[in-house]
Chain A
Amino acid sequence: MVSSSNAGASSARSLADVLASHRVVVTVGSGGVGKTTTAAALALHAASEGRRVLCLTIDPARRLANSLGLDEMTVDEQEVPASLFERYGLEPRGQLYAMMLDTKRTFDALVGQYASSPDVRERILGNRIYQYVAGSLAGTQEYMAMEKLHAVRQDPRWDLIVLDTPPTSNALDFLDAPERLVDAIDSPAIRWFLQAFEGAGKFSFNLVGKGAAFLLRSLGKFTGTGFLEQVAEFVTGINDLFGGFRERAAEVSGALRSPEVAFVVVTSPAPLAIQEAIFFSDRLREAGMRRDAIVLNGVHELLPEPQAPTRELEAALRRVEPGLEPERVVDGMRRALEDERLQGVADRIESERLHHRVGDEVLLVQVPALEEDVHDLGGLARIAAHLVTPTERARA
């Protein structure tokens, strides 16, 4: 686990440095650990530092809007109003835009943009398989997220793009998407398949030979007649559509590895989440990508136990809050404290373990569990403040 010079090692001392020195920041991690919150908070921080920021979520759950004080997240970018910044005592020196990915629309737009002729375009848009695939089927979302990232990256309006992602296993899909799309669309299998369908969309057996004809007939029995033709039409269309897709995918793939892109792995202090974060972080390095920071989010403070005898505690409570019944409430508070301390101890152990595991190789940032859910810009700002604080260890 020794870092090498090309990937992994990070000279950043805080997430503020990471933000300042990158054009794209991607938050990744397992379910519910705080990826969206972290992405939004980082975007907010950068915007208040004067950058023009786009926060792009490909998360199917439409959450980001709420945290950014927008009623609803839309597929077109929306600006977080400056007045909202001011309401929370923030200085809107830059601009903050947010938007979410709409898979079908991104796909349709691609078809419109890249089809070689209006004819081809209509044929693709009218293909039944396309109509479903473009909307919802598994995998397409990652493909299109990659496309979208590629598109917005080239948009000079943004000088920082913060990209939120779905939970880990899918985030991995997302990273693999360029390669997989090339494989799926430009593989020997597909070329072979398309050859078989050349001509009027019928099996042209002389081209593929007897064995292949048997294969296609058996497959056809499985899928029903006509289905393979539909698929072939779809694949032909997509092939046309992406024309130089191989180059595009290579470009995006390369871009994900470029020094311009930073990855921030987010985890909660739960042992399983940490395990996944480490897994993900290792995967990133294997893939030649950078992992610029790990955010340990939602760490519970370890509150001390009260020292005074119970009677004194009750008296102290009675003095400041006569409205509360001292015996009952002190007892309740004790139980609440016990639960908090259990969490606090567990989190401390996990935090130590994570530090030990990643060492000084990666910037490790700790964010405390806030008392309340993050549901407004103020909450995000507080998270942001913790995120960009240089850590003890990083300074050491």
Chain B
Amino acid sequence: MPSLLDHRFLFVVGKGGVGKTTVAASLGLAAARKGKRTLVAMVNAKERLSSLYECPPITDKITNVAPNLDAVNMTPAAALEEYGMMILKVRTLYQAVFENRFVRAFLRGTPGIEAWAMLGKAYFHAMGHGPEGRGDYDLVILDAPATGHGLEMLRVPQVIVDVAPPGLLRREAERALSLFRDPQRAGCVVVTLPEGMPAHETLELHEALTKDLAMPVPALVVNQLLPKLFESGERPLLEALPAKLDEGSPIASLAKAGRIRALREGVQETSLALLRSIDAPRVTLPRLFEPELGRAHVESLSRAFD
């Protein structure tokens, strides 16, 4: 198995708010540091990569954000145009076909086409044209939409292969699919939190990815791990402590904080145990107590991927 950063294409997936964008940003920095030409691509998301990288807003034009590291926020319209160009190669032909307003409207109305345009664009950046091709980047990291919509997007190439008759579209989808399913070159980095519901949902997500979509999972990232302050034996006592105190006890607020922490560490422990059933290398990232994460924080988180 290649190490994580030696892949060509990584999807970052997980339920909403678990830290996918943060992980994509950290992976990007780690890969770039290793000398990989790297592209972090968001999928028409409310852009927040720029606040993590502390750079100007990231648009649908690829921008350089650090040495070896570019970022883009793909939009369906721009992706469709670029993707169409990459395929048809001749601009006049592209313009004649894709810029026809009827064709445009038609493509917009065909479900899945927009998702495919963005996937296809990201694919081209990694692999270029030929079967053993090289694109502009050694590694493309795609910050996928949250669970449900992320899975829908990942399913699109298979749907095209199943539905489209032999032709260019189908051939491209087949090529993309063979990359996405190749554990030597690609995979889904699954992000989760060490909390009850997220852990349960992550098991389902992992199953959907590996069974239904036949995609490799080269890493499970457990984000926002709290350092363990208390032993398991101390936890029940701490949980019961606030109730035992007299009014005005000097340790009232300490006990309250202690109870909250003990409860959380307990949940964390069971969640980690639950996640152990996922057969994938595990990376943990610490919970940072910062109102807003910036460049320095992402730098420090990215060390976990070295």
Seen from chain A, the residues whose Cβ lies within 8 Å of a Cβ on chain B are 30-33, 59-61, 63, 66, 128-129, 132-133, 136-141, 166-170, 183-185, 187-190, 192-193, 212, 214-215, 218-227, 230-231, 235, 270-273, 276, 279, 303-308, 312-313, 316-317, 320-321, 323-324, 329-330, 332-337, 339-340, 342-343, 346, 349-350, 371-373, 375
Contact = CB atoms under 8 A, between A and B. Distances in A.
A224 B165 contact: yes
B110 A231 contact: yes
Contacts of A166: 146, 148-149
B147 interface: yes
A173 B103 CA distance: 22
Contact of A168 (B44, B46, B153, B263): B46
A138 B93 contact: no
B89 to A, nearest CB: 12
A59 B146 CA distance: 11
A333 B152 contact: no
A346 to B, nearest CB: 4
Contacts of B155: 136-137
A189 B147 contact: no
A169 B168 contact: no
Most chain B CB atoms below 10 A, which of A128, A276, A332, A349: A332
Given A59-B148, A323-B237, A223 B168 contact: yes
- Of the four ranges (under 10, 10 to 19, 20 to 34, 35 or more), the interface on chain B belongs to 35 or more
B260 A189 contact: no
Given A60-B148, A337-B253, A189 B105 contact: yes
Contact of A61 (B88, B148, B263): B148
Given A218-B93, A221-B167, A336 B45 contact: no
B148 A349 contact: no
B241 interface: yes
Given A168-B46, A187-B109, A60 B147 contact: yes
Contacts of A33: 17
Contacts of A185: 109
Interface in B158-174: 159, 162-170
B207 to A, nearest CB: 13
A133 B112 CA distance: 8
Interface of B: 15-18, 44-46, 48, 51, 87-88, 93, 96-97, 100-106, 108-112, 114-115, 145-149, 151-153, 155-156, 159, 162-170, 195-197, 201, 229-230, 234, 237-238, 241, 244-245, 249-251, 253-261, 263, 267, 289, 291-292
A25 to B, nearest CB: 21
A338 to B, nearest CB: 8
Given A137-B159, A337-B258, 13 more contacts: A63-B201, A133-B111, A137-B152, A141-B148, A141-B149, A167-B16, A189-B105, A190-B109, A223-B168, A333-B238, A333-B251, A333-B254, A336-B254
Contacts of B165: 223-227
